Amino acid sequence: MSRLVVVSNRTADPRKAAAGGLAVAVKESLQQTGGLWFGWSGKIHDESEHDAGYQDLRAQTVGNVTLATIDLSQRDYDTYYLGYSNDVLWPVFHYRLDLANFDVDFAAGYRRVNRLFAQKLMPLLKPDDLIWVHDYHLIPLAAELRAMGCRNRIGFFLHVPMPPLEIMAAVPEHEWLMRSLFAYDLVGFQSETDVTHFTHYVQSEAQAEQLSHDRLRAFNRTLRIGAYPIGIDVDEVVNLAQAKEGRDTFERMREEYSRRRLLLGVDRLDYSKGLPQRIHAFRELLAQYPENRSSATLIQIASPSREAVGAYDDLRRQMDSLCGAINGDYGELDWMPVRYIHRNVARKRLPGLYRASRVALVTPLRDGMNLVAKEFVAAQDPADPGMLVLSRFAGAAEQLKEALMVNPYDAHGTAQAIQRALSMPLEERIQRHEALMSRIRKHDVHWWSSSFLHALKHVEQDQGLDHNAKSGQSERDTRA
Ligand code: ADQ
């Protein structure tokens, strides 16, 4: 059996409870076959005081999995991570051209770190390794590996949305980025919408030929593509909701809010998640449906995220002010409309919190998938389930059709949907929940990783590797 090699910006210790969907899925697939997980250590090395060996690989073996990591220099961290990954690709892939900062040094740093990853990974590879690269930080990694002679099967999964051509084309290096994807054998997206956007881009900009529904030919290479919507470990969430911490949290919440209906939002504090719009919609709910005053409470948990990026600071201030205003305008001595918590909640407690909530507000302006939506459904009591209010712009909306779908930009419409969720009869809630549960069980995290890896293993490998390697090597497109 081929060994699995996973490459992602960060790695996670397989012995510790996994922090999110990616870590759970990767950990499980790696443990099945044994394998290697390669990425950045999360440490920044101060170049002024270092010996030249700071980029040395550190390897640690845990069971049948080896974790191999490297540090980054301050310059690489600033340009590759904060710069190109989080100040260019993240906003652009979430349709936020207004927030993108197209600095030439960022593009050069991105290219440099991808090459560094390839240089460090290459000596560790065996000829029949299956390589699975994750997310927007590492788009050009396969092209760099090919340029060094790597002929392994390499797959790529994009966790964030693929924007339409008109947005992608605003990135100065768009052509290079999209061509780099053709150095992979298989590229997976979260949704059919993403697949359509990518296909349209390469057909229009690179005269790609569609050989079949999942095969495209361009740049002298044939690429297999597909939608592999990421799922969750449903049983893990079901069990956590009933384990000690889950039950304690559930009971504390039910006691505290016995007379009140609880609405819940759980997100990273990120501008893609539509948090200010959500607070507006909740305010609209209190204005339009006064029966919710003194009786509904929104708990919004927003964990700190990428605080070194300026746009996140602005968002934090905006949220402080919006939550302060709604509490000031509507709050009473014994009731505050919004409880805003700018912290992480322990993973073991989240399912209990989901289960105690009447309604979850998952209303991103744009999201690759959104695992919180799926976790909320899995944690519910099937005999008295809460309702999911879901943005039509989350990748999850393609699957979770029985949720109440909203346009997060429309505060009035979102408030109406929240009201409908709050007053939905038990029978309808049970029916919708059953349907949603069967969808998230069918396409869970195990399905996600095994179907992607199965497709990668069986992909017919193209022989045009060398040509692509050369085109991937071109400096001019990255302005490096
Ligand atoms: P994220 O943008 O991080 O992920 P999401 O999928 O919702 O978004 O969350 C990831 C995990 O973090 C979930 O398991 C959730 O429970 C946890 N989490 C979020 N906020 C938390 C908080 N405040 N406290 C504790 N835990 C919290 C990216 C993409 C998504 C895609 C995933 C996986 O942006 O669209 O679904 O990758 O592919």
pLDDT digits (tens, 9 = 90+) for 243-274: 999 998 888 888 887 777 999 999 999 999 99
Taking the centre of ligand 1 as the mean of its atom positions, its distance from the CA of residue 424, in whole angstroms, is 27
Instruction: Tell me the backbone φ, ψ of residue 269, rounded to 5 degrees.
Output: -75, 90
Which pLDDT does position 24 carry in this prediction? 72
Ligand 1 interacting residues, C-beta cut-off 6 A: 20-22, 159-160, 230, 266-268, 301, 303, 344-345, 350, 367-372, 375
Strand-pairing partners, residue 224, are: 186, 215
What's the chain's Rg over C-alpha atoms?
Answer: 23
Answer for the pair 88, 116: CB distance below 8 angstroms, yes or no. Answer: no
Q: How confident is the model at residue 13 (pLDDT cuts 50, 70, 90)?
A: confident
Which pLDDT does position 251 carry in this prediction? 87
For residue 394, which atom of ligand 1 is closest to its CA? Answer: 35
Of the ranges 34-43, 147-156, 468-477, which one carries the lowest mean pLDDT score?
A: 468-477
- How many Å apart are CA 432 and CA 401, to the nearest integer? 9
Element at 26 (helix H, strand E): helix 21-33
pLDDT higher than 50, residue 480: no
Buried b (16+ CB within 10 A) or exposed e, 243-263: eebbeebbeebeeebeeebbb
Candidate of 89, 345, 349, 370 to mutate for ligand 1, largest count of ligand atoms within 8 Å of Cβ: 370
Reported as a single tens digit per residue, the pLDDT across 192-239 is 999 999 999 999 999 999 999 999 999 999 999 999 999 999 999 999
Average pLDDT over residues 334-342: 94
- Pinpoint the alpha helices (H) of 98-217: 104-121, 141-147, 165-168, 174-181, 192-206
Residue 151, judged by CB atoms within 10 A of its CB (0-12, 13-18, 19+), counts as: middle
Among protein residues, the one with the nearest Cα to ligand 1's atom 8 is 370
Reported as a single tens digit per residue, the pLDDT across 21-31 is 677 778 878 88
Which pLDDT does position 475 carry in this prediction? 42
Answer for the pair 138, 117: CB distance below 8 angstroms, yes or no. Answer: yes
Among protein residues, the one with the nearest Cα to ligand 1's atom 9 is 371
CA-closest candidate to residue 223, choices 190, 191, 193, 180: 180
SS3 340: strand
Which pLDDT does position 101 carry in this prediction? 96
**Share of residues in the chain with pLDDT > 90 (%):** 79
CA-closest candidate to residue 35, choices 20, 16, 56, 14: 14
Catalytic residues: 159, 367
Taking the centre of ligand 1 as the mean of its atom positions, its distance from the CA of residue 147, in whole angstroms, is 34
- Helices 275-288 + 310-330 axis angle, to 10: 10
pLDDT higher than 50, residue 476: no
Compute CA distances 370 → 137, 358, 388, 410, whole Å.
19, 19, 12, 20
373 compared with 470, residue with greater pLDDT: 373
Strand-pairing partners, residue 202, are: none
- Cβ contacts of residue 88 below 8 Å, gap of 6+? 100, 101, 102, 103, 106, 107, 171
CA-closest candidate to residue 229, choices 76, 358, 396, 99: 396
Which pLDDT does position 21 carry in this prediction? 61
Which pLDDT does position 464 carry in this prediction? 59
- How many Å apart are CA 62 and CA 66, to the nearest integer? 6
For residue 362, which atom of ligand 1 is closest to its CA? Answer: 7
Tokens at residue 412, please? 């009035």
178 compared with 313, residue with greater pLDDT: 178
- How many Å apart are CA 303 and CA 444, to the nearest integer? 25
Taking the centre of ligand 1 as the mean of its atom positions, its distance from the CA of residue 263, in whole angstroms, is 18
Among protein residues, the one with the nearest Cα to ligand 1's atom 12 is 20
- Cβ contacts of residue 73 below 8 Å, gap of 6+? 44, 45, 47, 50, 54, 55
Element at 438 (helix H, strand E): helix 426-442
Taking the centre of ligand 1 as the mean of its atom positions, its distance from the CA of residue 265, in whole angstroms, is 12
Which pLDDT does position 33 carry in this prediction? 78
Strand-pairing partners, residue 73, are: 45
